Amino acid sequence: MILYHHAGACSLADHIALIEAELPYRLVSVDRDKRTDDGRDFLAINPRGYVPALELDDGTVLTENLAILAYIAHRSGRLLPPDGITRWRALEATSFMTTELHGNFKPFFYPDATQAEKDKAAGMLARHFASIAGQLGDGAFLLGDRMTIADAYLFVMLMWAPKSGIELPERLRSYFARMKEVPSVARALAEEGLA
């Protein structure tokens, strides 16, 4: 499989998940001009122009973080329990993060965003991070003792927060420090030149 990605972008979640799932993959990097590092037009691969995109071995291209993460879990039998409430909580948390967290980071990425837009987004992000912090229990991961797709995504959101001036609750700061030491996370960071 090929993961089309950009270093430090939300595609890092899928990269972490592929490593954790022990699925074979190759990384192809996409630049801001939508060119791949092997010289192709990324818009011909994903006309929406977003990373991540996952090219399956038969050439099918899957897009959208939630779908790609769920696919990785399905293919590997890891990162999502087969049934039980934790499976649905993991999908719930990942959906919340792809929409409410990721969506509210957008003003920090757009150079033409106003300070008022950034302030509003920062307030929403602080509320949403507090709500996620409230979900953390005693386990090492968001939903207990086993890593799920929600952890891969949460890690990226937490990595973005300080760069956007968002102060995180202490519980999320220690969660982030723990996650950085998880071998799949450390390897993904190293492969993206972020270690």
Q: Which residues contribute to the site for ligand GSH (CB under 6 A)?
A: 9-10, 49-52, 64-65, 98
Q: Collapsing DSSP states into helix, strand and coil, what is residue 36?
A: strand
CB of 103: closest distance to ligand GSH in angstroms?
A: 9
Q: Collapsing DSSP states into helix, strand and coil, what is residue 126?
A: helix
CB of 87: closest distance to ligand GSH in angstroms?
A: 20
CB of 97: closest distance to ligand GSH in angstroms?
A: 9
Nearer to ligand GSH, 33 or 170 (CB): 33
Nearer to ligand GSH, 141 or 153 (CB): 153
At a CB cut-off of 8 Å and minimum separation 6, what does 47 contact? Answer: none
Nearer to ligand GSH, 103 or 169 (CB): 103
Report the first-to-last Cα separation within the chain, whole angstroms.
24
Exposure string (b/e) for 47-63, b if CB count within 10 Å is 16 or more? eeebbbbbbeeeeeebb
CB of 188: closest distance to ligand GSH in angstroms?
A: 15
